[in-house]
Structure 1
Amino acid sequence: MYHQLSRVTGRLVAATNLQSPLFPVAPIALQRVEPPSIQYNTAHLSTVTEASACPAPGKRRLIPGTNIPYPPVSETIRKRQELFQKDNDVPVFLKGGPVDGILYRFTMALCIVALAGIAHTIYDHAVPKAK
């Protein structure tokens, strides 16, 4: 038996024999499908193998998914990496030397000026001007 909405009451009513169904599709029972099992990172799923994770000195690592080796790292970049990876209790944003200290202080000064400007704007809008 087919059902449809009544135009008068807006409720679901049985369709009459003279009316055709809106969707003449036979219902199909849902098929049960087992969910896929969880596959943890195993050797056949991983693109990183133990040998390529830490290559031996002299061997070059390959870009993942290709047979192209990574380009060599320049000596200046290698020195910078050593400088920034030292454990010398200096924040990373100051490890670049005195120029980093100047840039940091300049940025902090700009933030304070901006906060003062915001406070001034809020005060101007909050307090009515005397006439």
Structure 2
Amino acid sequence: MYHQLSKLTGRVVATTHLQSPLFPVAPIALQRVETPTIQYTTAQLSTVTEASAPSGQRKLIPGTNTPYPPVSETIRKRQQLFQKDDDVPVFLKGGPVDGLLYRLTMALCVVGLAGIFHTIYGHAFPKKQD
């Protein structure tokens, strides 16, 4: 027996006019479709490539003909400092101030964990009240 939704009452009722089940439906083989080709709009691409640019010309922002703004010398020195391979973690490469901040952070983490364990211990074994 098959059921359908009654339009009058809004409930599921037995149906008499359905002769075959709606599901499962016999599968239909999918047709092979060729994958679409990617088309690039050349209007947004830069006209000068890095290889063909003269040595004095700066690199361009991708997708535009606008050159990158110049980088200051202090930023270049910082980049060289942080990119140097000297087996020092990046969070300590800033010098002694970074080391001090790292140690302070670790100490505060230990104090916080001690406070958490103290609170849990206090809730697990409450003091007896006389």
TM range (shorter): 0.5 to 0.7
Check 1:43–1:69 CA distance in 2 against 1; reply closer, same or farther (3 A cut): farther
Matching residue of 1:94? 92
Partner of 1:116, secondary structure, is helix
**Cα distance between partner residues in 2 of 1:128 and 1:120:** 11
Please state how far the C-alpha of 1:129 moved relative to its aligned partner: 1.7
1:60, CA displacement in angstroms? 1.7
TM-score by length of 1: 0.63
Gapped regions of structure 1 (runs ≥ 5): 16-31
For residues 103 and 44 of structure 1, do their structure 2 counterparts lie closer, same or farther at Cα, with a shift above 3 Å needed?
same
After TM superposition, list the pairs within 5 Å mapping 1:1-131 onto structure 2: 4-5=4-5, 10-14=12-16, 37=35, 44=40, 51-52=49-50, 57-131=55-129
Once the two structures are superposed, what CA deviation does each residue of 1:8-49 show, in whole Å capped at 9, x if it has no partner? Answer: x8344146xxxxxxxxxxxxxxxx77556276xx8958x69x
1:36-84 deviation line (CA, Å, top 9, x unaligned): 6276xx8958x69xx449x775332222333222111100000000011
Calculate the aligned-residue CA RMSD, in Å. 3.7
Query: For the residues of structure 1 that align with 2:34 and 2:115, how far apart are their CA atoms?
Result: 58
CA distance in 1, matches of 2:103, 2:60: 42
Identity of matched residues, %: 61
Unaligned runs of 5+ in 2: 18-29
Q: TM-score, normalised by structure 2?
A: 0.63
Q: 1:92 to 1:37 in 2, by over 3 A?
A: same
- On the 8 A contact 1:4/1:14 being kept in 2, the answer is no
